[in-house]
Amino acid sequence: MTTRQSAALDWAADDGEEQDLPHPYLLFLGDTVEPAYAKTAFGLRDWSGERCVGEWSLPGASVTTGLEWMTPDVAVARGARTLVVGVANPGGVIPETWIAALADALRDGLDIVAGMHVHLADIPMLAATAQRYQRQLIDVRTPPSDIPVANGVKRSGRRLLTVGTDCALGKKYTALAITRGLAARGADVRFRATGQTGIMIAGEGIPIDAVISDFVSGAAEMLSPAAKPGHLDVIEGQGSLFHPSYAAVSLGLLHGSQPDLFVVCHDPTRTTVLGHPNFALPSIEEVIRQTVALGRLTNPAIRCAGVSLNTASLSEAEAEAEIARVAERLGIPVADPIRGGPAFERLLDACQP
């Protein structure tokens, strides 16, 4: 039976319940050549690795998660239940060149999960194949139907939002790492997913970039409802206020989140906006100023707790030096949450409820 996932996975009531996708997963990379567009595959590998049996890609792909490459029939023999489209490309499209391969995965016995703007069930060949072989087509980029218009009223509880100098540079990883780090300290903290990968990891959330613009701030209010005074929601950021394509999503999320704190995420090796080489990357200082200026509309007390640097392409020595330089320049905690260490503990101190 073909199904399109709607409210069951992408939104859960605030009762602590989470929904599981059928797993283990085979991660599908398509013919992707840009690592940043394979962030769903990398996110699942890094945060739900125990659910991943391998990866599958098409000719021409140059991106790999490092997991064992295998075809769907082999993955099924290894226990896989679902093929997860591990790509989040511009516009969230499913190229024609992928469709035959996805249909083969259905025939081999896998359900398919995707977080694209184009829904699997809207592709005739996939819908027909899923129906014939009694497989599921699950789209997690489907917002709930009852999102209210934002009211801007201050809510109880505390909130932290990750913001960025660009897209695809660590806002989700930072939010997850901060949540995990504070939880290990005994804090009352919860990760709030706003994108397809975060939803797949958390089992709940709202895909903010799939929400009609008038309701984006309302979706953020719905995602992070009133809570106890000592509770902290760590909200996964999206895009960047300086991104020529996605700034509108970032602004709506900022206003609806009403964050008390925000952490700026930055890749020190990136100089231009991903996919827009004519747009220079803003400085961390510019992002702090703009986030405070715009965020004060719904939370006058908003402030920057620190900076998260994505130093994956730097050596350990280079990363330590860059973290120290930025911390000295800004006078606030700076860390790479994935590297951890004392710098990250200082960042956690600044985020502690």
CATH of residue 72? 3.40.50.720
What is the number of other CB atoms lying within 10 angstroms of the CB of residue 94? Answer: 21
323 and 208 housed in the same domain: yes
CATH code of residue 268: 3.40.50.300
Q: Which residues of the chain have pLDDT under 70?
A: 1-19
Residues 50 and 110 in one domain: yes
Residue 9 is assigned to a structural domain of this protein: no
- 171 and 97: one domain? no
pLDDT score of 266: 98
**Does residue 59 belong to any structural domain of this protein?**
yes
The closest alpha carbon to 56, from 36, 79, 86, belongs to 86
In this structure, the answer to whether residues 185 and 111 fall within a common structural domain is no
Write out pLDDT tens, residues 206-250.
Answer: 999 999 999 999 999 999 999 999 999 999 999 999 999 999 999
> Domain containing 192: what range?
158-351
Instruction: Answer yes or no: do 110 and 174 share one domain.
Output: no
pLDDT in tens, 150-165: 999 999 999 999 999 9
Of 139, 167, 192, which closes a domain?
139
**pTM as predicted:** 0.90
Last residue of a domain, one of 109, 139, 169: 139
- pLDDT for residue 1: 38
Asked if residue 94 belongs to a domain, the reply is yes
How many domains would you assign to the chain? 2
Q: Is residue 1 part of a domain?
A: no
Is residue 152 in some structural domain?
no
Q: Do the beta carbons of residue 170 and residue 310 sit within 8 Å?
A: yes
Structure tokens at 65: 């998660």
**Same domain, yes or no: 237 and 88:** no
Domain co-membership, 162 together with 303: yes
Q: Is residue 149 part of a domain?
A: no
Three-class SS of the chain: CCCCCCHHHHCCCCCCCCCCCCCCEEEEEECCCCHHHHHHHHHHHHHCHHHEEEEEECCCCCCCCCCCECCHHHHHHCCCCEEEECCCCCCCCCCHHHHHHHHHHHHCCCEEEECCCCCHHHCHHHHHHHHHHCCCEEECCCCCCCCCCCCCCCCCCEEEEEEECCCCCCHHHHHHHHHHHHHHCCCCEEEECCCHHHHHHHCCCCCHHHCCHHHHHHHHHHHCCCCCCCCEEEECCCCCCCCCCCHHHHHHHHHHHCCCEEEEEECCCCCEECCEEEEECCCHHHHHHHHHHHHCCCCCCCEEEEEEECCCCCCHHHHHHHHHHHHHHHCCCEECCCCCHHHHHHHHHHHCC
pLDDT reported for residue 90 = 82
Same domain for 129 and 172? no
Residues 123 and 240 in one domain: no
- Domain finish residue from 139, 172, 199: 139
Residue 221 domain flag? yes
178 & 103 share domain: no
80 and 33 inside one domain: yes
163 with 297, same domain? Answer: yes
- Does residue 194 lie within any of the structural domains? yes
**Res 198: pLDDT:** 95
